[in-house]
Structures are given as C-alpha cells and as structure tokens.
Amino acid sequence: MKITVGGEKKDVTDDITVAALIEQEQVETPQYVTVSVNEEFIKSGTFETHVLKEGDEIEFLYFMGGGAY
C-alpha cells in the first residue's frame, strides 16, 4: 500500500503498524519521537497496535527545548 512519510511517498506492507514503520524507517532515538498520522498525534503507548491505512500521511517529530542563559 502507499503512504506518505515526511512528505515522501512510500510503498509499505499492508497492516503495518506505527512501531514497525519506525523500525523500517530507522528513526533515530525512537523513544523520543512523536508521531502524527493525518495531522493527529498518536499516543506512544499505541504505536504497536495502531495500524496504518492506504493514503495515510505520517510525520516523525522531535520536540527540542532551548532557552537563554
């Protein structure tokens, strides 16, 4: 099936989960990644069970802190 990952069209196996996609895409520091599917945030506790569908748009996001002295 076809999905979009970070703006790039990809062919993936049917019934792939968010967790499997994270592994397949070799996401750096997966324990800190936030995932949105079709612009909705997915809870990290559901990555193993959230099955992606044809046409889904996935973004891997990292929130970084910063600040002044």
Stated pTM of the model: 0.88
57, HSE (Cβ side, Cα atoms, 13 Å): 5
Helix runs in 1-69, H state only: 18-24
pLDDT band at 69 (very low <50, low <70, confident <90, very high): low
Tell me, yes or no, whether 10 lies in a domain. Answer: yes
pLDDT one-digit tens code per residue, 18-60: 999 999 999 988 999 999 999 999 999 999 999 999 999 999 9
**pLDDT for the residue numbered 62:** 87
Domain CATH for 15 = 3.10.20.30
Tell me, yes or no, whether 46 lies in a domain. Answer: yes
Tell me, yes or no, whether 69 lies in a domain. Answer: no
- Spatial separation of the C-alpha atoms in residues 54 and 37, rounded to whole Å: 12
- The pLDDT of residue 68 is above 80: no
Domain of residue 23: give its range: 2-61
What's the number of domains the chain is made of?
1
DSSP reduced 3-state for 40: strand
Average pLDDT value for residue range 2-30: 96
Tell me, yes or no, whether 66 lies in a domain. Answer: no
Contact 29, 63 (CB under 8 A): no
Position 20, amino acid: A
